Structure 1
Amino acid sequence: MELSVVDLSRLQFAMTALYHFLFVPLTIGLSILLATMETVYVMTGREIWKRMVKFWGTLFGINFVLGVATGLTMEFQFGMNWAYFSQYVGDVFGAPLAIEGLMAFFLEATFVGLFFFGWDRLSKRQHLAATWAVAFGTNFSALWILIANGWMQHPVGAIFNPDTMRMEVSSFFDVLFNPVAQAKFVHTVSAGYVTAAMFMIGISCWYMLRGRHLQIAKRSLAIASAFGFASALSVVVLGDESGYEANLNQQMKLATIEAMWETEPAPAAFNVVAWPDMEKRENIFAIEVPYVMGLIATRSLDTVIPGINDLVDRSKDRIRQGAIAWDALQKIRENPAEASEELRETFSQNANSLGYAYLLLPFTDNPMEATTEQVDAAAWSTVPNVLPMFYAFRIMVACGFFFILLTAVFFYYSSSGKLDTLREKRRWLLHVAVWSIPLPWIACEMGWFVAEYGRQPWIIESMLPTSAGVSSLSVTEVLLTLAGFILLYTTLLVIEISLMIKYIKIGPEDGEEAVAPPPSLQPVPSSATVPAE
């Protein structure tokens, strides 16, 4: 298959974004856990909590630095690979990114230095304030990034100016409080909390299996399981909100997630397992649960969820309407000063569908002269590949319910004072937790795949196709930068994993017996009591 500049630019941004998000969720979640643990230290004065903060803070610092290094490149790509996109939406898109850099990033970057180097220079309360500032800045940074991304998913608070050929902000309030952006923010941040909790649980279980640093491991398990259980529950609830918003604003995404080809009577069934066939435009087989999809996506019994085929038919109508807007726009651009009010009114009435006219440009130079076959082809280009969308979503959901189960189990054992039982009789649970450490990252990456790939072919939903947003580059140029980024990011990932493993093996500062005797392999009599560590 011959790859185009558009394909390679998409691949490059996807690669850098997915690499970057390997670091982001752990940073978001660990920042809150560090602040919580240090709060306990300041309130109780017990040195073990300080050692916990320093140990987990070391892992946080490694992850933070590499997250910054990988994140800087992404913003440069808007100018390097997506020049027309940057010109088209710079007035809207630039504001939240600028605020993120000037406020949130500088906040966390400033106080992260105080966190690491201020232990002997600040009072307990001053250092605690710095730690909470890092946590606030980290989460605040995510807010502005997701406001920008949410606007791409659901562009509100902006209008297209035919004279400047740019999107211009009409209401920053609408941009800021975009319901899609708000739902994405709370869902994504909660996923970061789960990632950090699962990471802390897994590492703590590794120490328990080896009988090392048991006091810190037990306390880390207690706080991480409680935090993770609450966060995992919130991820499911907030994910439901994201699905509801998708039904309101991105119906094609929702239809492809569910492999729903035909519109069903309300409430629609949920496909637990299916095998979608893009060529036949149907599911080869499907296992359905009646009514569930309709209840989840619409929160009602009588709201219909449109299927893929009906949405394609709607796209055909919008493509024809967009062609009228495109034709009027070309005439306005020829002589803006003399464009009649009637011509501008024609454009204004059809402007909401202008983006659909751009879908015709790969097939014809003049959308007004498009044939029926070309309109059909453009309309079907609005359908992402259903199979990867369908299973990526289900992998994410399956991981989410697993996190609820696992964190609930460890929360039960920690809150009931039975963690020693795990070392003696339930060691397999400790092994499960250790091997589950990568799962939150898999779930996060699947979530971003669904969010971004499911928006295709749009770089801005229903307004600007991805193919229209690229820079004027050659295939060779994009291939060279793609190869360079893959090499650089892979190197950084190897460095992070190596450093993480190194400092995990070293463990926290010694304030207790570093290694405890291994638990007896013989069963403990029911009448015996296990002495506290």
Structure 2
Amino acid sequence: MDMAVIELSRLQFALTALYHFLFVPLTLGLSFLLVIMESLYVMTNRPVWRQVTRFWAKLFGINFVLGVATGITMEFQFGTNWAYYSHYVGDIFGAPLAIEGLMAFFLEATFVGLMFFGWDKMSKQAHLFVTFMVALGSNLSALWILIANGWMQHPAGAVFNPETMRMEVADFGAVLFNPVAQAKFVHTVSAGYVTASVFVLGVSAWFLLKGKWMPLARRSFTVAAAFGLASSLSVVVLGDESGYALTDNQKMKLAAIEAMWHTEPAPAGFAAFGIPSNVDRETHYEVKVPYVLGLIATRSLTGEVTGITELVDQAKVKIGSGIIAYDAVETLKTDAGNPAARAAFEENKANLGYALLLKRFVADPRKADAAAVDKAAWSTVPNVPAMFWVFRAMAGLGFFFVAFFAAAFYFATRRQFGRRWFLRIALLIIPLPWIAAELGWILAEIGRQPWAIEGVLPTFLAASDLSVAQLWTTIAGFTLLYGTLAIVEVRLMLESIRKGPEPIAEPGDADGPAPAGGYAPIAAE
């Protein structure tokens, strides 16, 4: 396979996935913020909360439509750009995606229409139930997609069938309750809640700075501050849980994130700073915090975090075992009843994927020499400098959001909505949670390389037989289309924000001169 085709196929999928993920976090978070806001309307029966809910629902709807449109494209790419991947693991990977479409997406799509057009056609309680079902559908959709993605990271519950030459489901429960998928789901959903909270708080800050729609702005600010604080804390805690999941299931990814080239005595230290080098295979100017990595990764003072070099040595052993499994499969193709080949396959089948890594260097893995084995083993190491710095940027943003929402919650509880410096910060940082979310996906997907399916199918074997010209044409087409959609979406969002909420007539909550006592648009600090 031409590696240019592989890299361009990866680039195209990365562009469409990262673009799609611009809409997903806001959908996840806004859906439950709408539930909170409408619950307050139902409990208090105050029209201002209806106004608040409907305003943010309008922005949710714009974002929801773009998310659906961009997500459908990705479904087709598995067949167009990754044909062998679809053939090899489609029986497992396709099941969660099918359930997502049949259960979660249709649930979400059915109730979203009722949510927008049912305000005056059903009771407040019934409409709140509809809004909750939209939120549930959005989060269930994320669950099934992340189960599929988690299986790519940790392929539990599946076996290779030498008769069909495909991976098949052996235990759907193991696929469903995959520990990597569970950690990814709760972490990703919490990140979506943070994204929506920053968005709501930032727009509310703009209203407060302009002195517009103050009742809506104050209430939205308060809800977003509380929800955002809880969500940002959960992101940090669940991120720690994700690190713990890597210890057992993706050791190479963990070692690359820490640029740990050699195993250290337990408990390992956390590299606060360093300059990793793929050429030298060491980290220069490293500054370590003792014990922290060992505590995070193993929850103990005695657990060991394996280094990159030692993991490469383990990969060499797995490659040797995989060659035996590969030879057995070739024998079983022509002599399905061969007992010796069947026994050899059963003993070594877990490492078959490691033999396939050799196909990048030799046509027949059984003819690989020591140099080819060494290259294949080192190919299991992802881009260490990228992993190292992407993780630290993402983690740094996570801790920043905790501090930011703690301050926002303090100001909201003290009814101090006139802190101009804080409102400006809230407005300026609106893009940051999207940056953090995109960094998280980059970390997850770069960290899995060279595997399309961890330990099972190398990425360079998964792609379709396409030409470089075809890929550049489609990349250009997607860039043009998605760029146009981005402009349309941003303009619609900005226009909706500029127009503000629908008017209401409620004594004490109508826009106009603010009463004294801290409710002025921007009071003196």
TM (norm. structure 1) is 0.95
- Give the structure 1 partner of residue 392 of structure 2: 394
- Give the structure 2 partner of residue 356 of structure 1: 354
User: Matches of 1:406 and 1:12 in 2, distance apart?
Assistant: 35
Deviation larger for 144-153 or 284-293: 284-293
- Give the structure 2 partner of residue 142 of structure 1: 142
SS of alignment partner, residue 478 of structure 1? helix
Query: Which AA in structure 1 matches 2:171?
Result: S
Query: Which AA in structure 1 matches 2:402?
Result: I
User: Matches of 1:246 and 1:487 in 2, distance apart?
Assistant: 37
- Give the structure 2 partner of residue 414 of structure 1: 412
User: Matches of 1:90 and 1:491 in 2, distance apart?
Assistant: 32
Contact 2:258–2:270 at 8 Å: present in 1 too?
yes
- Give the structure 2 partner of residue 503 of structure 1: 496
User: Matches of 1:8 and 1:186 in 2, distance apart?
Assistant: 31
User: Matches of 1:342 and 1:330 in 2, distance apart?
Assistant: 13
- Give the structure 1 partner of residue 214 of structure 2: 214
- Give the structure 2 partner of residue 250 of structure 1: 250
- Give the structure 2 partner of residue 110 of structure 1: 110
SS of alignment partner, residue 361 of structure 1? helix
- Give the structure 2 partner of residue 451 of structure 1: 444
Cα distance per residue 1:143-190 (max 9 Å; x no partner): 100011111111111111011011111111111111111111111000
Offset at residue 510 of structure 1 (A)? 2.6
SS of alignment partner, residue 42 of structure 1? helix
Cα distance per residue 1:245-268 (max 9 Å; x no partner): 111110000011011111100000
- Give the structure 2 partner of residue 525 of structure 1: none
User: Matches of 1:294 and 1:101 in 2, distance apart?
Assistant: 40
SS of alignment partner, residue 300 of structure 1? coil
- Give the structure 2 partner of residue 77 of structure 1: 77
Cα distance per residue 1:326-348 (max 9 Å; x no partner): 11111111343xx3111111011
User: Matches of 1:165 and 1:491 in 2, distance apart?
Assistant: 42
- Give the structure 1 partner of residue 183 of structure 2: 183
Cα distance per residue 1:461-492 (max 9 Å; x no partner): 11110111111111211221111111111211
User: Matches of 1:193 and 1:203 in 2, distance apart?
Assistant: 15
C-alpha distance 531-111 of structure 1, shift in aligned 2 (>3 A): closer
Q: How does 1:32-43 map to 2 (within 5 A)?
A: 32-43=32-43
Contact 2:260–2:308 at 8 Å: present in 1 too?
yes
Root-mean-square deviation (CA), in Å?
1.5
Query: Which AA in structure 2 matches 1:468?
Result: L
SS of alignment partner, residue 285 of structure 1? strand
TM (norm. structure 2) is 0.96
Instruction: Answer yes or no: is 1:223 the counterpart of 2:223.
Output: yes
- Give the structure 2 partner of residue 524 of structure 1: none
- Give the structure 2 partner of residue 61 of structure 1: 61
Cα distance per residue 1:186-245 (max 9 Å; x no partner): 110000000000100100011111111111111001111100000100011111111001
User: Matches of 1:493 and 1:307 in 2, distance apart?
Assistant: 42
Query: Which AA in structure 1 matches 2:502?
Result: E
User: Matches of 1:485 and 1:221 in 2, distance apart?
Assistant: 36
How many residues were matched structurally? 516
Instruction: Answer yes or no: is 1:469 the counterpart of 2:462.
Output: yes
User: Matches of 2:15 and 2:512 in 1, distance apart?
Assistant: 42
- Give the structure 2 partner of residue 377 of structure 1: 375
Q: How does 1:258-269 map to 2 (within 5 A)?
A: 258-269=258-269
User: Matches of 1:327 and 1:4 in 2, distance apart?
Assistant: 29
Q: How does 1:492-531 map to 2 (within 5 A)?
A: 492-511=485-504, 514=511, 529-530=517-518
Query: Which AA in structure 2 matches 1:63?
Result: N
SS of alignment partner, residue 274 of structure 1? strand
Offset at residue 529 of structure 1 (A)? 4.8
Cα distance per residue 1:263-310 (max 9 Å; x no partner): 100000111111111111111221111111111111100111011111
> What is the percentage of aligned positions where both structures have the same residue?
59
SS of alignment partner, residue 288 of structure 2? strand
- Give the structure 2 partner of residue 345 of structure 1: 343
Offset at residue 357 of structure 1 (A)? 0.6
User: Matches of 2:266 and 2:482 in 1, distance apart?
Assistant: 47
- Give the structure 1 partner of residue 273 of structure 2: 273
Query: Which AA in structure 2 matches 1:145?
Result: I
Cα distance per residue 1:65-100 (max 9 Å; x no partner): 000000000010110011111111111111111110
User: Tell me, which stretches of 5 or more residues in structure 1 are unaligned?
Assistant: 520-527
Contact 1:211–1:515 at 8 Å: present in 2 too?
no
1:482 to 475, 484, 488: 475
SS of alignment partner, residue 384 of structure 1? coil
SS of alignment partner, residue 360 of structure 2? coil
User: Matches of 1:476 and 1:109 in 2, distance apart?
Assistant: 37
Contact 2:416–2:518 at 8 Å: present in 1 too?
no
SS of alignment partner, residue 283 of structure 2? strand
Offset at residue 52 of structure 1 (A)? 0.6
Contact 2:158–2:171 at 8 Å: present in 1 too?
yes
Contact 2:158–2:167 at 8 Å: present in 1 too?
yes
Cα distance per residue 1:82-128 (max 9 Å; x no partner): 11111111111111111100010000101100111111211211111
